[in-house]
Every structure is written in structure tokens, then in C-alpha cells.
Amino acid sequence: MRISMCSIVFDLLISLGYMMIFKKCGIKLFWAFIPFAREYQISRCSERENDGLVYAFFGGVEMLMDILFSFLSDYSYLVAFLSIPYLAFVIGRIVYAIRIYTGLAEVFGRSKKWAFLFIFAESVAALVWGFSKSFQPVKELNLYDKEGAKVFGGEVKAEDEGLSVNITERTATAFFKKKTLLKDIHMNIPKGHMVLLLGGSGAGKTTYVNAVTGYEKANAKVLLNGKNIYTEYSRMLFDIGFVPQQDLMRGTDTVKLTLSDAASLRLPSGVPKKERKERIEAVLEEFGLRAIENSLVDKLSGGQRKRLSIAMEYISDPSLFILDEPDSGLDGVVARGLFEKLRAIADEGKIVIVITHTPDRVIDLFDDVIVLAKDASRTGRLAWYGPVDESYKFFGKDSMEEILLSINQKEEGGEGKADEFVEKYADYMQEKVG
């Protein structure tokens, strides 16, 4: 009982110390009293969040094995056998603890030697760091507990034609923490429009695409030509095409066989064989692949592979066509030709949404631009949706690259004006709708 009481007292002292450290870091105080979650939250203070996940996992496994050993005390051979993996987890936990507390020392501007005091005398170190006013973070921490930019809070009226997007939020829960990945995204994209999806790293471009296509559902209502993508997903799947950055093709197949396989997957099972064949032939012609239909995929040039990759998704004749960096690895001339083809697809009445890291060289081919930005809470927000020419005036910039720099965080080399433009756009939407 005496040992148990000592353990309780030491754990309470550690919790009190961490509570005050969390207060300095801007993390909710109750986490200090929850085992394993406490270790994870201190890793956030240390800017070592990924290390914290591993550290907490090792600690959890170590605790479970301690409990298991208590039940196996009469089976010495099993205890001996399990001692090796147990030792590995103990060593792993110590290694990650050193990484985390070294990071904490850097954030607080202290000697890295403190990391070892946290490991061998955790209660003392936690109390000193928590209650001493001289221990303060010397750098701003980018934590998700911060309040983000204000929201528009309304919705756009869904249109019978085109793509209507009303995303309230897209959240994910990871290890004791709920993250809001996207928030307050509302727009109507007309048929026949080619749209640039612009945003820095972590701004939510992929999350937006996944939410719109229904691949990862959000708290949202997404309609394509009046049909709800979420509630009619199995039917709408064939009306949406998505071309990833990396193509998924077998190099030993011919171009025509690749398209044939794509037709089997992308066209509804009820499509007659004759119609399927006609569609393959039409796509070969439309994408300029007729002359190389019997060539192996491995023998194609970068531009030819990209056209084939696009053709594979286009074979179902989708109304919504989304492409992730289709010009990756292509030179200017080839890339220009590819985007001109996408422009022609949009002119057929399709909606084409494109992510590209070099938008300015082909910006004249786009109708609209969606600008996503990370606000102060590191949530993907809508900073602009509308015509390309109006976006320059809205941001006071002359190029897409300059717009991107204006919304990127300062630590990313940007101007850090994401919240400013998110709120400016929210005001713009309230005036437009209200």
C-alpha cells in the first residue's frame, strides 16, 4: 500500500507540473491528468507530435506487458521469452522520450541536458518547468487549439446544373484529438468551367477533392447536376473522374489493353460490349493515342503516359473531372498542349478542376480559381472562389504565385495573411448572398 501511495503522489506531482507547462503552451489543462494522452500533449509542446504518437504507443504496450507479467508470474519460461520484446519497447520509449524532451528544451530555450532529468526525475523536472516563471517558450507554437478566422456561416443555393458544394466541416480524430481539416467551404461551379485549385502545403486541397468526390465524406452536401454525390454515391461514381499525380498502369500492357481494362472498371456493368468497344475507339482518337495503341506503356514518353492516364479516367465520360498535377514532370510545350486538351474537355460542358504547382504558365486557360488557405487554427479555409481576373484584384497581386505567397504562413516563406483574406472573403460572401 505504501508503494501504491507513493506512486499516486508522484503521479499527481507530475500531472501538476505538466498542467502548468500546458498552460504556458496553450494546451487544455485536463490532458495533464490523463496517462499516455499527457505524453502525447507534451510532444505537441515540443513540436515533436509524430514522436509523441510513437512514445505513447510504446508506453501503452509496456503497461500492458507489465499487467501480463503479473498474471504469468508462475510461468517463468514465458516471462523470459517476453522479456526480450518488453526490453525493446522500454528502449524505444526512452529513445523517443529523449527526442521529445530535447525538443521541449529547444522550445523553451534551455539546455538539452534537461531531457535526461525528465526521464530519470520526471516529477522534479515537471514541477520546475511548470511553476518557475523563468521557464517560458521562446518561440510561437503552431498548435491547433488556436481560434481560426471567422466563418461565412451560410450556404450557397444549389443549382440544378453544375457542381454545388456546401462543406460545413471535415474533421478527423487522431489520438485524443479532433482536428478540423476543412471548414466553411461553399461554392457553385457551372458546367463548362475549368477551375484551378490553388493552396499551399497542408491547406486542404486533397481533403477538398476527397470530400467533393465522396471518397472521404464530410459534414457536407455536394450535388452534381442536381444529384447528391453522398446519398447516390454508387451511381455517381461513374460520373466523376479523378486522375492522381502518379499513374497506375502496367508497363507491360499496350495502350489499347490499358484502356480496355479501364473501360471494364470505369463503365457500368450494364454497358453492352459493342458500346464499350466504341467508347475505347473514341477515346483513342480524342486523346491522340491511335498511332501508339499497340505500343507498350513502358515505351511511352512522359506526355504520352499522362494523356493515357487521363484517357483512362475519361473513358466513362464523366461530368466532373479532377486532376492532380497532370503536368508534373512535363516541359512547358508538352504541358501547354495537355492543358489545352483539358480546356477542350471543359468546353464540351464538363467541369474540370486541376491542381498544379505551375499555374501561371497556363492561367489563361482557366475560368475560375479556388484558393484554399490554412487559418490560425491550421484548418483549410476558402480564401477565394471566382473568376481568375477578379482574384488578382481581390488579393492585390499580379500572379497566382504571388497570391499563394500572400496566404502561406510566415514560417513557410509567405506573408502570413491567410486569416485576413479568409475573413475578407467571408464578408464578400455575406454581401453576395445577403
User: pLDDT value at position 2?
Assistant: 45
E strands of 190-236, at which residues? 194-199, 219-224, 227-228
- How many Cα atoms occupy the beta-carbon half-sphere of 279 within 13 Å? 23
Give the whole-angstrom CA distance, residue 49 versus residue 431.
Answer: 40
> In which order are the strands placed within the sheet that holds 320-324?
227-228, 219-224, 163-173, 178-189, 380-387, 368-374, 194-199, 351-355, 320-324, 240-243
Which domains, and CATH codes, for the chain?
2-131 (no CATH), 163-433 (3.40.50.300)
pTM of the model: 0.75
Task: Label residue 146 by pLDDT band (50, 70, 90).
Answer: low
**Could you read off the pLDDT of 194-245 as tens digits, one per residue?**
999 999 988 999 999 999 999 999 999 999 999 999 999 988 888 999 998 8
Burial of 103 (0-12, 13-18, 19+ CB in 10 A): buried
Residue type, 225: N
Burial of 18 (0-12, 13-18, 19+ CB in 10 A): buried
User: pLDDT value at position 433?
Assistant: 75
Burial of 276 (0-12, 13-18, 19+ CB in 10 A): middle
Pick the closest to residue 283 from 248, 253, 313 (CA basis).
313
